Amino acid sequence: MQNIQCPFCHHAVIDWSEEQYVQPCAHTLFIAMDLGFEYISDEFESTMQRTVDDIHADDENSNVFNEISKSSYPEFSVYKSDLGVEGMYRYLGFAN
């Protein structure tokens, strides 16, 4: 598995050498998988149509990528990486 760096400050936001491998920086809006959110900033969550708690409670009917796409956050980039399981992905959102 490869580390994933912020496109702005180059901090490793996914750092497999750390026990707590999720290491968000100031530019990180969210780190999510198809299974749910690993990290989300309060600022980004406030722009979503549903809270993370609501999404996780309704996991059988939720599509994390669709939920992210419905955000009203003005401008952000989403990076998609393979989880190593067929059809499963991690999504990372960044804004400068």
Question: What pTM did the predictor assign?
Answer: 0.93
Q: What is the pLDDT of residue 93?
A: 99
33-52 residue pLDDT tens? 998 999 999 999 999 999 99
Six-digit token pair at 9?
Answer: 């400050």
Dist CA 65 CA 87 (whole Å): 13
Residue pointed to by tokens 């419905």: 70
State the 10-residue block means of pLDDT for the chain, 96 residues long.
94 96 98 95 97 90 93 97 90 98
Q: What is the pLDDT of residue 42?
A: 98
Contact, 7 vs 93, CB < 8 A?
no
Q: Collapsing DSSP states into helix, strand and coil, what is residue 90?
A: strand
Q: What is the pLDDT of residue 2?
A: 86
Domain boundary assignment for the chain: 4-94
